[in-house]
């Protein structure tokens, strides 16, 4: 009986040892796998951060060339940073024309979100200068901080639409479309920042902050010789509006519902203008009076080109490069939207503020208007010629 008890004890221990061995065989491969992954992925990052925050005067290991050591260490750091950090602003090229993007903006709950979305798009576009013009008596801290944090080349201006052209409850008087004075101020700034006979290649584009832009759009507009045009989606209650292009590649009309007989029945974001043309035609501005609703684009373009001068982009205006905010419902081509309120006669002068005495913008350089408020040109006549105080000249 005693011998049976002695043999029973080892018999009970054997299954336990087999279980332990099975557990070890299962866990060991996974442990090795996790260790290898940790060494190949996490360790280099930790080593790089430690090297970046450590003493930069560390010495190379004995028996190695210091120059080779620094080069190899720099290569490792650059590889890791390239993979995990987005470099901004976009690279600048001396051969590409500069795109001057004009964005009027105003204070509202979604302003920061929409400016951030647009900035994230512009960060992917090389050789870009962002002209942001606020409808405000002074630069707001929100917009100034946002522009500074983007890393883009930008100019920050402001001009307030007079209060007598605003209705109560912050509703706009339909006689002055939103952003008209802000776009005119940007045109004024460009003409005073660049000489009339400037050889600087560039393109001027009016990009509202509530639209969505394709990156192909910016690359196509860069080759604009005079004025280039393309379709715009979700505008005027339609799925898209577009210029009509004939077989010879010339614009002959417009695919639109609202007043297709306008001289240029196109959306504000549906065209770009060569910078030299803007500088040479100093009288070309968006008109502030005597212009019916929806004719703001025509008031500028008819001072610059004729219909036959337009350059269709986006595969002869067959592809949509830009999306406007989608309306509540899309209209069929047969349904004509209600007639817009015509523009009544406006006073002969409108005050302009926010144009500051600052050096002209240069590639690769940011520019802001100073915090103090100095009077710029006080009057901008409908013809576009400044009157009142003398225009300032870049230093």
Q: What is the pLDDT of residues 248-288, one digit of tens each?
A: 888 888 888 788 888 888 889 999 999 999 999 999 999 88
* % of the chain surpassing 90 pLDDT: 34
What is the pairing mode between strands 310-312 and 227-229?
parallel
Residue 233 DSSP label:
E
State how far the Cα of 108 lies from the Cα of 243, in Å rounded to an integer.
33
Of 39-48, 76-85, 170-179, 323-332, least confident by mean pLDDT is: 76-85
Whole-number pLDDT of residue 72? 39
State how far the Cα of 232 lies from the Cα of 222, in Å rounded to an integer.
18
- Helix/strand/coil for 158: strand
For the cut 60, the answer to whether the pLDDT of residue 393 exceeds it is no
Binding-site residues, in ranges, read 210
What are the residues facing 100 on neighbouring strands? 129, 204
Whole-number pLDDT of residue 255? 85
In degrees and rounded to multiples of 5, residue 128 shows phi and psi of: -125, 135
Q: What is the pLDDT of residues 120-163, one digit of tens each?
A: 999 999 999 999 999 999 999 999 999 999 999 999 999 998 87
State how far the Cα of 148 lies from the Cα of 206, in Å rounded to an integer.
21
Q: What is the pLDDT of residues 373-391, one digit of tens each?
A: 333 332 232 333 332 222 3
Q: 260-266: long-range contacts at Cβ-Cβ below 8 A with a sequence spacing of 24 or more?
A: 262/294, 262/295, 262/298, 263/295, 263/298, 263/301, 263/302, 263/307, 264/297, 264/298, 264/301, 264/302, 264/307, 265/241, 265/298, 266/229, 266/232, 266/241, 266/297, 266/301
For the cut 80, the answer to whether the pLDDT of residue 336 exceeds it is no
Whole-number pLDDT of residue 247? 86
Q: What is the pLDDT of residues 171-196, one digit of tens each?
A: 444 556 788 999 999 999 999 999 98
Whole-number pLDDT of residue 12? 52
Domains and CATH numbers, the chain: 98-327+340-387 (3.90.550.10)
89 prior amide bond cis, ω within 30: yes
For the cut 80, the answer to whether the pLDDT of residue 197 exceeds it is yes
For the cut 50, the answer to whether the pLDDT of residue 231 exceeds it is yes
CB 100, CB 203: distance < 8 Å: yes
Handedness of CA 205, 231, 115, 172 (dihedral sign): positive
Whole-number pLDDT of residue 239? 77
In degrees and rounded to multiples of 5, residue 116 shows phi and psi of: -65, -45
Binding-site residues for Mn(2+), in ranges, read 210
Which residues are marked as active site? 297
State how far the Cα of 135 lies from the Cα of 179, in Å rounded to an integer.
8
- Helix/strand/coil for 31: helix
CB 115, CB 146: distance < 8 Å: yes
* % of the chain surpassing 70 pLDDT: 59
Whole-number pLDDT of residue 3? 52
Q: What is the pLDDT of residues 27-59, one digit of tens each?
A: 888 888 877 776 665 555 445 444 444 444 444
For the cut 50, the answer to whether the pLDDT of residue 365 exceeds it is no
CA dist list (Å): 66 to 60, 76, 213: 6, 16, 49
- Residue in this structure with the two tokens 């606020």, named with its chain if needed: 134
Question: What mean pLDDT, rounded, does the chain reach?
Answer: 71
Whole-number pLDDT of residue 186? 96
């Amino acid at each position: 009986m005693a011998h049976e008890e002695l043999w029973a004890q080892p018999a009970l221990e054997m299954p336990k040892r087999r279980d332990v061995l099975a557990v070890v065989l299962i866990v060991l491969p996974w442990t090795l796998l996790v260790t290898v992954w940790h060494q190949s992925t996490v360790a280099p990052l930790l080593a790089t951060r430690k090297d970046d925050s450590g003493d930069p005067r560390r010495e190379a290991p004995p028996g190695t060339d210091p120059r080779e050591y620094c080069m190899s260490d720099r290569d490792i750091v650059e590889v890791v940073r390239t993979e995990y950090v987005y470099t901004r602003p976009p690279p600048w090229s001396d051969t590409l024309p500069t795109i001057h993007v004009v964005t009027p903006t105003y204070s509202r709950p979604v302003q920061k979100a929409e400016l951030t979305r647009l900035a994230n798009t512009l960060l992917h576009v090389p050789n870009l200068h962002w002209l942001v013009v606020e409808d405000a008596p002074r630069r707001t801290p929100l917009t100034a901080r946002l522009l500074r944090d983007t890393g883009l080349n930008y100019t920050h201006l402001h001009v307030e639409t007079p209060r007598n052209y605003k209705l109560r409850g912050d509703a706009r008087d339909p006689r002055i479309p939103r952003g008209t004075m802000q776009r005119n101020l940007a045109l004024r700034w460009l003409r005073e920042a660049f000489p009339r006979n400037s050889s600087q290649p560039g393109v001027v584009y009016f990009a509202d902050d509530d639209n969505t832009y394709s990156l192909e759009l910016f690359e196509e507009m860069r080759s604009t010789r005079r004025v280039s045009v393309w379709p715009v989606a979700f505008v005027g209650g339609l799925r898209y509006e577009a210029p009509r292009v004939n077989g010879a590649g010339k614009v002959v009309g417009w695919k639109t519902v609202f007043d297709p007989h306008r001289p240029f029945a196109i959306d504000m974001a549906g065209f770009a203008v060569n910078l030299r043309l803007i500088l040479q035609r100093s009288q070309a501005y968006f008109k502030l009076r005597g212009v019916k609703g929806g004719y703001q684009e025509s008031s500028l373009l008819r001072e610059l080109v004729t219909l036959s001068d337009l350059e269709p982009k986006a595969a002869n205006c067959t592809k949509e490069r830009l999306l406007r905010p989608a309306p509540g419902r899309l209209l069929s081509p047969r349904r004509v939207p209600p007639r817009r309120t015509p523009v009544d006669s406006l006073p002969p002068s409108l005050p302009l503020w926010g144009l500051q005495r600052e050096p002209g913008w240069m590639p690769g350089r940011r520019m802001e208007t100073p915090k103090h408020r100095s009077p710029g040109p006080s009057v901008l006549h409908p013809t576009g010629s400044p009157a009142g105080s003398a225009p300032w000249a870049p230093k």
